[in-house]
């Protein structure tokens, strides 16, 4: 029964992720040993966390390099820093809540949390990478 629920949830997450991440998650879902699938999902989540942090740093540099063209550079920079801090807190709460439907301390619980993070990191990376300075 648990495996059926697991694959239904995995299918739902697969349809939400971007094309590239969908391929990566499908690699995880194809693992025959559950612990290997959980590790795979965890590794993708950690990789995307690094990309998310890198995208943020690049945006901060982009803004700093254009500060002479901005009237509200300090407000934008401070707002961006605060926004990231608050988003990071929100992500932990959101993904913990999503995973709390299942028993804590299990690989399944953690993989649901990691999949939630993957979905949100992809979205936030896209946001940072496409942030327009008008």
* pTM (two decimals): 0.78
Half-sphere exposure of 84 (CA within 13 A, CB side): 17
List the structure tokens of 114. Answer: 């990691």
By the 8 A CB rule, do 63 and 133 touch?
Answer: yes
The pLDDT tens digits along the chain (134 residues) read 444 444 444 444 444 444 454 436 777 777 777 778 888 999 999 999 999 999 999 999 999 999 998 889 999 999 999 999 999 999 999 999 999 998 888 888 999 999 999 999 999 999 999 998 87
Report, at the CATH architecture level, how domain 2-129 is classified: Up-down Bundle (1.20)
Q: Residue 35: what pLDDT? A: 78
Category of 102 on φ-ψ map: left (φ > 0), alpha (ψ -120 to 50) or beta: beta
Tally DSSP H helices, then E strands, for the chain.
Answer: 5, 0
Q: Residue 103: what pLDDT? A: 87
Exposure string for 47-66, b = 16+ CB within 10 A, e = fewer:
ebbebbeebbeebeeebeee
Per domain, the residue ranges of the chain are 2-129
């Amino acid at each position: 029964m648990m495996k059926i629920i697991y694959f239904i949830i995995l299918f739902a997450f697969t349809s939400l992720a971007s094309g590239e991440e969908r391929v990566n998650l499908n690699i995880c879902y194809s693992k025959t040993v559950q612990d290997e699938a959980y590790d795979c999902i965890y590794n993708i989540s950690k990789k995307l966390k690094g990309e998310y942090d890198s995208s943020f740093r690049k945006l901060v540099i982009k803004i700093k390099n254009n500060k002479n063209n901005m009237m509200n550079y300090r407000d934008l920079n401070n707002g961006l820093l605060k926004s990231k801090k608050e988003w990071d807190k929100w992500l932990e709460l959101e993904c913990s809540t999503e995973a709390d439907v299942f028993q804590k301390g299990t690989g399944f619980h953690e993989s649901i949390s990691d999949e939630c993070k993957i979905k949100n990191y992809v979205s936030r990376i896209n946001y940072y990478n496409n942030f327009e300075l008008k």
